[in-house]
Structure 1
Amino acid sequence: MNQNEQEKTNQAVGKQTIRFACPPAILSRASIVGDMEGQGPLASYFDQIEPDPAFGMDSWEEGESEMVRRAVQTAITKSGIAKENIRYIFGGDLLGQLIGSTFGLKDFQIPIFGLYGACSTCGEALSLAAMTVNAGYASHVIAVTSSHFGGAEKQFRFPLEYGNQRPLSSTWTVTGSGAFLVSATSPDQPMKEYPRITSVTTGKIVDYGVRDNMNMGACMAPAAADVIYQCLEDLAVKPSHFDKIITGDLGKVGSEILIKLLRDNDYDIEKQHMDCGVCIFDNEEQDTHSGGSGCGCAAVTLAGYILHQLESNEWKRVLFVPTGALLSTVSFNEGQTIPGVAHAVVIEHIE
């Protein structure tokens, strides 16, 4: 297939979806997490579990940068691809001006696109990585995201020393970083042994007027429902087309809202639905209230558990939908609402 034929086969489907002619492969993945995540039910799937919350550094923020560095280096090492052959990095985090990514990635000396989609950043990074390699602008790129419990609480809520009581709707920011090496494929080199990104559906900003920063699930669920609905419509499939429809960090509260919103639009995803924030912690033993959250939540669950299920052929096809709440300390303190955004990525095990 020549380039013109491939371009014709690529499709902009429906209103918001791109289907790839030669679906990019996730050549390698890495997940670095903290001690709390290492005590959860997914512990055996992570590459590294670090008991030191500062990751050997002097602050939580520097510790997050160290997580990012380790995740990217591990993904590169596992891929067998030379660093010089990686054209771009797409990465971001929750900290102001993306300092977690900045200081974690600067020494790699790979051209970088800094991204902010709040906790949906993993979906944004994977979408742009897949588009870039499929379009022929690069053979190999990295997508990476991160979050840190201490850094996020310090920036968005209360100092940990304050010891405030958390409502049952609140979630626990995951300390973790997930990195993915996304590579181009061709009809001559299909890389069928690797999970493939077959389509992406880019989400819109959706605002239902929620102002409670202790109930992020309610802020993000409408955006998740919107992009899942549009993905199903664009691809003309039912929820049963997927083994799992996986949201990023809605938690228990947001997951219930999501299921209801989609039922109101004639799609029932309850049998297929899974939320990374719900499954990453054992709520009975760890008491995280509504579940986990943060950029790292969806990223390490994908890098650790979800891709393992696809690689081992336990699942054939998943719809991965990281979810983000678009707030800052400025907007929240000025009384603004908390809009949400979500991006949908179809990942398949192709025979």
Structure 2
Amino acid sequence: MEKRHGRQTVGFQGDVRICAYASVAGQKEKEGPLGECFDIVMPDAEWNEETWEKTESKMQKEVLKAALRKAELKSEDLHYILAGDLLNQCIGAGFGLREMEVPFLGIYGACSTMIEGLSLGAMLIDGGFAEYAAAVTSSHFCTAERQYRMPLEYGGQRTPTAQWTVTGAGAVILAKQGAGPKVTHITTGKIMDMGVKDANNMGGAMAPAAFDTLCAHFRDLGRGPADYDLILTGDLGVIGREILIEMMEKEGYDISKNYQDCGCMIYDREKVDVHAGGSGCGCVASVLCGRILEGLRQKEWKKVLVIGTGAMLSTTSSLQGESVPGIAHAAVLSAE
């Protein structure tokens, strides 16, 4: 049986299982609708570290340790760690996981990094190159603000389209055996650039990439929205979510009945001012590892399509007047 399906989708022949998963969240995330779903809740933004960047590294280390404990594995059982974050040179992952002494692949897909890591890890497992592999991702509100925008002390106003970077992390342990949710297919996205230059409108920049990947996934597998109990994007937020629904409707797909976005789920926008919702690598990571995978394990859903979405901007590109390209990667997760 061919593993490739169409231009962008791969189907796995053997069992690729998520045998364990764990999540970390901050206080603001704890106060949201999913607050009881997270394994570890940070006491504050510093978590006993000297800098926010060191805190984010700690988030990666602790979330992976938690997932390994659940899997009853040690770090030496892992053949690969695939990890990344939003910081320059992915220092959150690099410094956080250096003591693990595991073959390390640092990756960057902006806020799509969790699904990128899961996709690559699943291919390593299915190809017989690893027995166990971990995918880890994080973001921290304060580190993102320091790098991408301005000092927090400045108190600058945020535009209505702006999103709140989630302080959160997630880790999955992928294996060729076990009883966890199964990864059956992945669809790798293409870079999409519709010319959006507003760095505070990431939902608008990422929605075309989510649209392109979702259409490719349906086309490659001959499927539609009704084939999934839940279609989930990473962090399009309120604005990007509505754009995607409208774009898919024009293409002949009604996803409104079973579609949700992690950036809309993680905060209660009526109680806290996060403008257009949540964003960041930790958004899809913490929601996936805190809520979705447990729902699959409990058979709340049988089949879920998760699409990690990312805005491929940097401080340099923004200052140079560049647009904000988007990327989206998809994975099919099955409870059966």
TM-score, length-scaled by structure 1 = 0.95
Amino acid paired to 1:35: Q
**From 120, 127, 133, the counterpart of 1:135:** 127
Number of the residue aligned with 1:172: 164
SS of match in other structure, 2:271:
helix
Give 1:81 deviation, angstroms.
Answer: 1.8
Aligned position for 2:25: 33
Aligned residue among 53, 58, 69 for 1:61: 53
Query: Which SS does the other structure have where 2:123 is aligned?
Result: helix
- The Cα shift of 1:83 comes to 2.0
Do residues 70 (structure 1) and 62 (structure 2) align? yes
Please state whether the residue corresponding to 2:275 is helix, strand or coil.
coil
Q: Are 1:88 and 2:74 counterparts?
A: no
Are 1:252 and 2:238 matched, yes or no?
yes
1:196 aligned to 2:182? yes
Please name the residue that 1:240 is paired with.
Answer: 226
Cα distance in 2 between the residues matched to 1:93 and 1:217 = 19
Give the structure 2 partner of residue 292 of structure 1: 278
Residue segments in structure 2 that go unaligned for 5+ positions in a row: none
SS in 2 for 1:283: coil
Match of 2:192 in 1: 206
Displaced runs of 4+ in structure 1, greater than 6 A?
A: none
User: Which of 42, 45, 63 does residue 34 from structure 2 map onto?
Assistant: 42
Give the equivalent residue in structure 2 for 1:6: none
Q: Distance in 1 between matches of 2:15 and 2:309?
A: 23
CA RMSD of aligned residues (A): 0.8
Mapped to 2, the partners of 1:82 and 1:116 lie a distance apart of: 25
CA contact (8 A) 2:24 2:41 kept: yes
Secondary structure at the residue paired with 1:151?
A: helix
In the alignment, the residues of structure 1 paired with residue 74 and residue 202 of structure 2 have an alpha-carbon distance, to the nearest angstrom, of 40
Alpha-carbon distance in 2 for matches of 1:84, 1:158: 40
CA distance, structure 1, for counterparts of residue 147 and residue 75 of structure 2: 33
CA–CA separation in structure 1 for the residues paired with 2:76 and 2:164: 37
Does the aligned pair in 1 maintain the 2:168–2:286 contact within 8 Å?
yes
1:263 deviates by 1.3
Q: Among 142, 158, 171, which residue is 2:150 paired with?
A: 158
User: 1:208-241, CA deviations, whole angstroms, 9 ceiling, x for partnerless residues?
Assistant: 0000011110010000000011001111111010
Deviation at 1:314, TM superposition (A): 0.7
* CA-to-aligned-CA distance 1:139-185 (integer Å, 9 cap, x gap): 00000000000000110111110111111111000001100000014
TM-score with structure 2 setting the length: 0.99
